[in-house]
């Protein structure tokens, strides 16, 4: 009985770990972008940083988004710091959006108005099929 309980816990936690690092819920074949994303907050923490931002759609409605980024240990060598993005910054964000249409994604890069680029995953192509991006707004 103890073995069955231990086995159940191992399966539960191992599937959570696999789900945590998976990309199956995101459209990894299409790059989405928001050219006027307003940064609300960046969570500089393990296991993944989070970038929260707002965008205004064509109807003038503000939508709140969250994109996952690598942990600080992977962002720092790519010139990111905990102060790279500040609340109120208006930037272009490139990301792989959630397949279910929810306002979540995996960030690819941030481009500042002056042209400065911060790559989150420089090893990922922008769009494996065409090299283009799909602007959401």
Q: Where are the domains of the chain?
A: 26-135
Question: Beta strand pairing status for 104-111 and 90-97?
Answer: antiparallel
Whether the per-residue pLDDT at 9 is higher than 90: the answer is no
- 26-135 CATH, one of 3.30.70, 2.40.50, 2.60.40, 1.25.40: 2.40.50
Q: What is the DSSP string of 71-122?
A: -HHHHGGGT--TTSS-TT-EEEEEEEEBTT--SEEEEEEEE-TTS-EEES-T
- Per-residue pLDDT at 46: 95
Once rounded to an integer, what is the mean pLDDT over residues 43-68? Answer: 96
Q: Residue 58: helix, strand or coil by DSSP?
A: coil
Burial class (CB in 10 A: 0-12, 13-18, 19+), 120: buried
CB 51 within 8 A of CB 66: yes
List pLDDT tens digits, range 65-113. Answer: 999 999 999 999 999 999 999 999 999 999 999 999 999 999 999 999 9
pLDDT greater at residue 41 or residue 126: 41
Average pLDDT over residues 115-129: 72
């Amino acid at each position: 009985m103890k073995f069955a309980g231990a086995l159940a816990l191992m399966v539960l936690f191992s599937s959570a770990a696999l789900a945590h690092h998976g990309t199956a819920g995101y459209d990894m074949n299409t790059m989405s972008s928001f050219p006027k994303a307003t940064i609300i907050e960046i969570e500089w923490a393990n296991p993944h940083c989070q970038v929260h931002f707002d965008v205004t759609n064509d109807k003038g409605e503000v939508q709140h988004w969250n994109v996952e980024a690598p942990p600080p240990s992977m962002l720092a060598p790519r010139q990111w710091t905990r102060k790279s993005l500040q609340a109120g910054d208006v930037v272009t964000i490139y990301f792989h959006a959630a397949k279910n249409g929810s306002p979540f994604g995996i960030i690819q890069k941030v481009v500042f108005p002056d042209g400065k680029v911060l790559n989150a995953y420089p090893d990922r192509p922008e769009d494996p099929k065409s090299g283009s991006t799909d602007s959401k707004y």
